Structure formats: structure tokens, C-alpha cells
Amino acid sequence: MTNSLSNAFDAESFRKKGYAMIDQLADHLQRMQSPDLSQKVYDQTKPEALYDFWKKDLDAPTGNWYEKTLAQIIHLHHPKYLGHQTAPPAPEAVLGELFGAFLDPGMGIYEQGTTGVVLERLISEIVADKIGFSPETSSGFLTSGGTLGNLTALLCARAVKIKTDVWEHGYQGKQYAFMVSEEAHYSVDRAVRVMGMGAAGLIKIPVDDQFKMNTSLLEAELIKAKKNNVEVIGVIANACSTSTGTHDDLEAIADFCQLHQLWMHVDAAHGGALLFSRKYRHLLKGIERGDSVIFDFHKMLLTPSLVTMLIFKNGSHSYQTFAQRAAYLWDNQESGEWYNLAKRTFELTKTSMSFRVYALLRNGGEQLFEDYLDRQYDLGRTFAQMIKALPHFEMPVNVPESNIVCFRYAAPDKTAEELNEINGSIREAIVKEGEFFIVQTRLKNQIFLRVTLINPSTTVEHLSALLLKIQSLLK
């Protein structure tokens, strides 16, 4: 071995640096949980400044780069992190990831993935049971994010529902489409375009005043599509929508799909986690009637990203998604061994996602999930009441269904344009200052402040402080 190789694989150096890094992260976590935490959640720095900083560091490395990163990066474990839907990873799941990253077997084929592949199956059986799918006939796997999960599910729907062989011969001039609420995540639109179906491949159904798909419009839209020679192959339901956290009526969508023999895909990237909450499970009523379901463990189930479950009611469908030969990996593409996952996934070399989930499940995970979900969803409702008590604030939904809460300042003497400007500048000022991190969204052309109550250490006191800060910015 050359010097560089023996240094790179030196076990003692790994041990020393590994312990030091874990110490550093544990100290950071402790700091984030301290009652007198004064550290900012976020230090807004221009990309060019950070680029110059790291270029210098790379050219002449000095000091500890983990420490430098900790001083710059956004802190998901900070109780005032109220931004995007990325959960603060639970340390146990992080250790699972570290373990998997070190061993790094690759989950695409069984001869490499072995234990990790089996764990994926066990996890998918737990999920099947929670959904109400038959453990014998359903089948699922983990994949790299909700975006890829949605694309994979829609590709499968296409393979099952279209009578001709699109995989081999393309669409042959025919226009197919999926229906989805206008509030769907952009990954659905992207998936349909990636599939070559174009803009006409997605029929966007308007939402009602609570941002749920207006399912009473589905029939008329289907008739209109037929008239235009568009064949609808499926409907995608939101559970829940990204902007407002609203759940579509899964029963109504399932009735429609059943009547017209359409594929029903449930994009439960955020809300699918509620399978683990007895209190809020009712929001997913009808999910068991879906043909495919995705949800992200890295959103509301505390793993580091990315860990997405894609599960099919009829597991045999999942083998129809791709039809490519790979003689060096397996002899027969047509055979459906559950343990050669790459036959059904985009990824071949797939990370050991199951280790992250299993690490939690083995350590009281189901109870942890339920405690976490109930707490965060309860907090969403409490926060909504706090907003309602303020003069001149409004919310787009009467009662938030999830831990995503949108609201805005809406004094009656201001024009729509002024209100957009005021709310946009509130968000900008908050992020710039760095004590809190929140995001914004645009609903029916109005800018709303948007928080996701995703941190288990966020309390009512933190939320009161946020509202006081917002009010102070209005002065």
C-alpha cells in the first residue's frame, strides 16, 4: 500500500476521528437543547462568500472543517427551526446511517445487500399492515426520495394500465394523462413530463376553499379528457399537500378510481407517517384503497434523508415497471424475486436506507413515531389558535390538518399587493436575522408565511416569541 492508502484506511485514525466527531455532534445537540440557547438557527451568507471561504479551505486546509460547517449550516435540531419538511434526524437513525455508510453493501441485488434487503422487506411488511394491505400480496421497498418514489409509482401505473407496450414502442401518438389536485407537489408534474407525456399529461383539478382536491369535478374532467382523445390512466391523491398540509378525500378519489378502473396513487410523502399515529390515522382513511403509496421517513419519521417507502397493494405490479435486461446481475428479468430490488427500483447501487429505519424500530421506534407525530400535530393546532387570537392575521384553512401552518398578516386597509409585500418582507427579515427559520408560500396569488412544526423541542413559548417578533416587524 502507498502511504496515502494506508493512511486512508488506518483503523486507529478512524476510531480517533470518529469519536471526536460524535463528541462534537453530541455537544451540538446538547447546545441546541439548552434552555438558554442563544445561537442563531441560521446564518444567512451569500453563496459567493461561502464559495470563497471553502475554496480557500480546500486550497490550504486548516483547523477542523466539521466545526467550520457547524458554524455556517442551518440547524435542524434548533427549536426555532420551523422551515421545510426535513425532520431533525434522531441520533439513533444517524448511527444506523453511519453504520450502513461504512459497510455500504448496495441494496440493488440480494447477493450484495443481504441483511439490508431483508430489513427493507420487514419494514415494508410493517407499513403494509398499518395501511391495511395484505402482507401476502402487497410489496414495497425503499427508494431515494419522494420525487423518485412518485416517478417510479407513475411508471408502474403506466405499465399496468396502458394496454400497448409503451416501454418498447413509446406512446405511438396517443395522449395519456393523470389527474391530480392543483396543489400537488411539483415532483408529480415533473414525473409526468419525464415520462414524455408533456403538459397535457397532467390534468390539474382545482381545490376547494380548504385546499382539498374538489373531487366533484373529477367526472366532468374525465368526460372532457375523453372528448379530447386523452386517456386518463390514474389519479394522484395528496396526503397531504405540501403548501397547506391538507389531506385530499382519499375515499372519494378511491370511489372514482374504482368506478373507472383507474390507478390510484397516494402521494403521502409528508402525511403517510400518520400510519403510526392512532390519534391522527383517520386523516388517511381510504389509503388502503390506493394501488401505490409513497411516504418519506425523512420527513415525519425522524431519519436522515433520503428514505422513501414505495409500496404497492398488488406487489406483482411493481415488477412491471421496468423491463430491462441486466445479464450480469440476474438471469431472468421476468422472474419476480422480492430480494433483487433493482428489478423494481431506479437505483442499482442503493444506500442502506433500511439501516436508518431499523435502528429506530429496534429502539422503540413505533412508540417514538407516535409520540412525535401526536406532539407535532397537536402543536400545529395550538399554534393555529394562537394565530387566530391575533388581530389582522388570517389562515388559508380553518383548522390545519397537519403540523404545516400557513398564516399571514391581512389588515383590511391594505391592498392585495401591499399585503404580499408586507408578508414577503416579514419572512425576509426573519431569515436574515436568523433567530427563527420559516418559509413562505403563495396560495391563490397571496403570500403566506409557512411553518412546519417539525422539531420535538419547539414549544409554545418559542411560537409565542415568533409571533411577537412578527408583530414587532409590523411596527
Establish if 296 lies at the interface with ligand PLP (CB under 6 A): yes
3-state SS class at 361: helix
Selected binder of ligand PLP within 77, 78, 185, 289 (CB under 6 A): 185
By CB under 6 A, the residues from 63 to 102 that bind ligand PLP are 85
Residue 254 CB, shortest distance to ligand PLP, in Å, is 18
The footprint of ligand PLP on this chain (CB under 6 A) covers a number of residues equal to 14
Q: Do residues 368 and 392 make contact, with C-beta atoms less than 8 angstroms apart?
A: no
Please check whether residue 211 is in contact with residue 397, taking contact to mean a CB–CB distance below 8 angstroms: yes
Nearer to ligand PLP, 308 or 340 (CB): 308
For residue 138, state whether it binds ligand PLP (rule: CB under 6 A). no
- The only residue of 187, 246, 376, 452 in contact with ligand PLP, by rule CB under 6 A: 187
Instruction: Give the E-state strand segments of 314-392 in sequence order.
Output: none
Q: Which residue is nearest to ligand PLP (CB)?
A: 146
Residue among 161 and 185 whose Cβ is closer to ligand PLP: 185
Identify the H or E element spanning 421: helix 416-433
Cell matching residue 462: 418559542
* Residue whose grid cell is 390506493: 290
Q: Which residues contact 372 (CB under 8 A, 6 or more apart)?
A: 300, 301, 302, 456
> In the numeric block, which cell numbers belong to residue 265?
396513487
* Per CB under 6 A, 440 contacts ligand PLP: no
Helix (H) or strand (E) holding 142: strand 139-143
Give the nearest distance from C-beta 425 to ligand PLP in angstroms. 25
Stretch 325-364: interaction string toward ligand PLP, x if CB under 6 A: ----------------------------------------
Q: How far is the CB of 115 from ligand PLP (least distance, A)?
A: 25
Q: Does the protein bind ligand PLP through residue 450 (CB under 6 A)?
A: no
Is residue 462 a contact residue for ligand PLP (CB under 6 A)?
A: no
- d(C-alpha 31, C-alpha 38), whole Å: 9
Least distance to ligand PLP from the beta carbon of 454, Å?
A: 12
CA distance 389 to 410: 14
**146/234 with CB nearer ligand PLP:** 146
Angle between helices 186-194 and 146-161 (to 10 degrees): 50
Q: What are the two backbone dihedrals, phi and then psi, of residue 198, each rounded to the nearest 5 degrees? A: 70, -175
SS (H, E, C) 206-254: CECCCCCECHHHHHHHHHHHHHCCEEEEEEEEECCCCCCCCCCCHHHHH
DSSP-derived 3-state class of residue 281: helix
Give the nearer residue to ligand PLP in terms of CB position, either 269 or 301.
Answer: 269
* Least spacing, CB of residue 59 vs ligand PLP, in Å: 33
Shortest approach of ligand PLP to residue 155 CB, angstroms? 15
147 binds ligand PLP, rule: CB under 6 A: yes
Query: Measured from the CB of residue 470, what is the shortest distance to ligand PLP in angstroms?
Result: 24
Among residues 140, 146, 315, 400, which is the contact residue for ligand PLP, using CB under 6 A? Answer: 146
Q: Is 145 in the site for ligand PLP (CB under 6 A)?
A: yes
Q: Which of 128, 264, 306, 309 binds ligand PLP (CB under 6 A)?
A: 306
- Contacts of residue 273, defined as CB under 8 A and 6 or more positions apart, other chains included, come to 295, 296, 297, 299, 300, 301, 369, 373
Q: Name which position in 131, 218, 269, 449 contacts ligand PLP (CB under 6 A).
A: 269
| CA gap 387, 242 in Å, rounded | 20
Instruction: Report the residue from 242, 318, 345, 354 that binds ligand PLP according to the rule CB under 6 A.
Output: 242
Residues forming contacts to ligand PLP in the complex (CB under 6 A) are 85, 145-147, 150, 185, 187, 242, 267, 269-270, 296, 306, 308
